[in-house]
Structures are given as structure tokens and as C-alpha cells.
Amino acid sequence: MSGNRPQKPATKLVHAGRRSSQYHGVVNPPVLHASTILFESLAELEQAGASKPGKVTYGRHGTPTRFLLEEAVAELEGGFGTLCVSSGVAAITNTILALVKPGDHILVTDSTYFPTRNLCDTFLKKFGVETQYYDPTIGGDIAGLIRDNTVLVWCESPGSLTFEMQDIPAIAKAAHARGVKVLLDNTWASPILCRPFDMGVDISIQAGTKYIVGHSDVMMGTITTATEEDLLTCKKQVVLSGDAIGPDDCYLAQRGLRTLGVRLRQHHESGLKVAKWLQGRPEVKRVLHPGLPDDPGHAIWKRDFTGASGLFSFVLHPITKPQLANMVDHMDLFGMGFSWGGFESLILPSDPKKIRTATKWDEDGQLIRLHIGLEDTDDLIADLEAGFERLKTV
Ligand SMILES: *Cc1c(COP(=O)(O)O)cnc(C)c1O
């Protein structure tokens, strides 16, 4: 941080994690590729074993390219420290594994990102950790599900695919009363739109792949903790896993970070505009976007978030598979593919029915997830409108 004056997020986005004066005045941190690091003396080599934070000892443990990105993310999130890993899933897996042991019980929101569930239902189960899924809208009633062996509550708000908002402060209050940690997948909002540590979250993870990187070309994940103790616990697990994100990817993530604020402002505005347009269409049954005033999660979103990103879903009135294919196969601007958070718009038909266990998804119409990119919304709306017209020609 420069000076002692507090900085607003937009300012931090520009200045955090840069040490230009240490690198010949170069604006962006340099890309330092390394496996071997050479030591000048036996004394220095023996010191390296102590593995002090920020010390460069071996490529897998990072170089300043990664450390400066970690510094920037930690400052933005307002956490004690950040670990950057090679994907969002690596962040999720390492964080959960760092905190559990056989015999433990964990609570996971039913609306969580599918690979998080996959970890719980396969590896954690085999490892003797019991997962209980809960209704994402449970709020403070989570207290009734906490057992003596519960170690963590996993949250994601809004939820993947269906965008239910969670009352994180209420969950955190109930969990902390029983000494249980609260973890949040904050990928949708990033720390620009939602401040996890102000709501009582202990560890915040993000798929940096999405909005931090912002250009659909790099995989990365972040783990940010409120305390030094949790950072060291997670770091031990990351080291054990052998995870190592490369410096080129850290460089691109740093570069993406600098424009995160302005990009998100546009995703917010364009996303809401398209969502409102969809609400007026006869083909559409429901739009799932917490920024819409009639969304069931709107009050929580308004209380806890300062904006929306560009990702939301809508439900169509029932159509046939060939009708759906005729719509999504011929979009001009919306690409079809996984992931999101880049500058471009995406369309993804999905079915939450098969995934849920604690709650029921009983909409009979097709769910479609959209990522609204940075294109002009008039062009995006025209593309969607032509898609709806194609529903009629099958
Ligand atoms: C994409 C995503 C992840 C995983 O990130 P990867 O970098 O693809 O591994 C985790 N959480 C959420 C909410 C996501 O959308």
C-alpha cells in the first residue's frame, strides 16, 4: 500500500501488488521463470529451508511474479493473505482438504458449483468425511444442522446455475457460535462487488479464471484467509498437493486485475439490461438474476452487494430438444461453452434437476445460463431475439 491513507477498491485495483521501483520502474511486475534458485553460500541455503513468506527458494514455491499477484488479491479482499493456485477447483479442493480429517462433518450449499460436490461425493466420502447439503436459503437456521463434529460451512452466493442468494452474515453468526468455519466461493461477485470478510467469512476462494483474468485464456484460483493461522494451514496443503501456477499465467492475471472494476461495471449494466428485456419476452417463464427487484434474493443482494456481474440464467416455457438446438446452434454473438467472466457473451443450456439433493428443482422448462460480455447490448438482444424466432421454425 502506498502511504497510510485508506484507498477505495478502484484505486487498489490499479496500485496493489506493484513494486515498480524494485524493477527498474517497469509498471507491471516482471515475469520471473524459475525452477532452480541459486544460493550464494551454505548459510543462505540452510536459511532457505525456513521458507519465510515471500522468500524465493524454489520454482514450485513461487517467484515474485506470483507473490505480487497474491499481495494484490489479499489487499483487494481485505484478508490477511492470499495463495494463488492453478485453477478455481485447485483452490476449492486444497482449502477443504486443509480443514478436514476423517470423522468430520461438513455442510455444503445445495446450489454449489458442481465440481465442489464432486469432491465431496467421491474423495471426501472415501476419506471418511460426511457431507450434508443444505438449502441455500437456510440463513440462520443452519444452526439446526451443526453437529459436534461439523468443521465447516461451504457457501456460494449467488448459487451456480440458479442464483439463489445466501444470508452469509446470518450463517456466519450461527457457525461461529459453534466454532465452525465459514468458507465462501466468491467467484460471481469478486471482492469488488461483495466483501466476504465484512460478512464474517473466514476463507474466500475465487476462480480467478473468470473475472480476475477476464479474457478467457488463463486458469487460476485464489484462496484468501482472514487470519495468518488459516493461511498457513491452507499453504501446507497447497505445498503438499504440488500445485504451482506458472509465472506467465500470474502475469496475465495481474494484467486482467487492473481493469476488473470497469469491466464489472459494464457487465452489471449490460447484464441487467438483457435480464429486464428477457422478462418481457413471451418465450421466457422466469429470469434468475438477484439484481432484478422481483427476484427472491433481491433484498439480500441489495444489502450485501454493490453490483451484479454478467452471469445469470432464465427458464424458457417448455420446448423440444430440436427447438433448443435450433436456437443455440445458430447464435451469431453468443458462444456456447463452459466457464465465463471473459469479455465475450456465452450461452449454456443446463439442467439443475440432476444435481440437487437437499432441495428440488422442479421447473419443467429449459434453463439457459447467459454470460453477458462487453458487446453492445442492442446487438446481444437482437441475437437473442433471432434465437427465439428460431424456436418457431422447428
Ligand atoms: C468456474 C468456477 C470454479 C472453478 O474454476 P476453474 O478455474 O474452472 O477450476 C469455481 N467456482 C465457481 C463458482 C465457478 O464458476
Strands 311-316 and 335-336: unpaired
pLDDT tens, per residue, the chain with 394 residues: 446 788 999 999 999 999 999 999 999 999 999 999 999 999 988 888 666 666 899 999 999 999 999 999 999 999 999 999 999 999 999 999 999 999 999 999 999 999 999 999 999 999 999 999 999 999 999 999 999 999 999 999 999 999 999 999 999 999 999 999 999 999 999 999 999 999 999 999 999 999 999 999 999 999 999 999 999 999 999 999 999 999 999 999 999 999 999 999 999 999 999 999 999 999 999 999 999 999 999 999 999 999 999 999 999 999 999 999 999 999 999 999 999 999 999 999 999 998 999 999 999 999 999 999 999 999 999 999 999 999 998 8
Structural domains present in the chain: 9-257 (3.40.640.10), 260-391 (3.90.1150.10)
Per DSSP, the residues of 345-373 read -EEEEE-GGGT-SSS-----SPEEEEE--
Cis amide bond preceding 158, omega within 30 = yes
Chain mean position to CA 13: 17
Among residues 146, 194, 205, the alpha carbon closest in space to that of 168 is found at 194
Most informative mutation of 245, 338, 339 for ligand 1 (most atoms within 8 A of CB) = 339
Separation in Å, CA 56 to CA 47, 209, 308:
11, 25, 38
| Collapsed DSSP state (helix, strand, coil) of residue 156 | strand
Question: Residue 1: its pLDDT value, please?
Answer: 46
Is the C-beta atom of 155 inside 6 A of ligand 1? no
345 lines ligand 1 (CB under 6 A): no
The x, y and z cell numbers of residue 171, run together, are 450463517
CB of residue 71 inside a 6 A radius of ligand 1: no
Quote the pLDDT of residue 52: 66
Cα-to-centroid distance, 315 and ligand 1 (Å): 22
Residue with cell 418481457: 280
Cβ neighbors of 368 (< 8 A, separation 6 or more) are 313, 314, 315, 316, 328, 347, 348, 349, 350
Instruction: State the distance from the centre of ligand 1 to the C-alpha of 26, rounded, in angstroms.
Output: 32
**36 CA to centre of ligand 1 in angstroms:** 31
Mutate to test the pocket of ligand 1, among 85, 87, 89 (most ligand atoms within 8 A of CB): 89
Query: How many Å apart are CA 346 and CA 113, to the nearest integer?
Result: 18
Q: Whose CA is nearest to atom 2 of ligand 1?
A: 207
The contacts of residue 385 (CB under 8 Å, 6+ apart) are: none
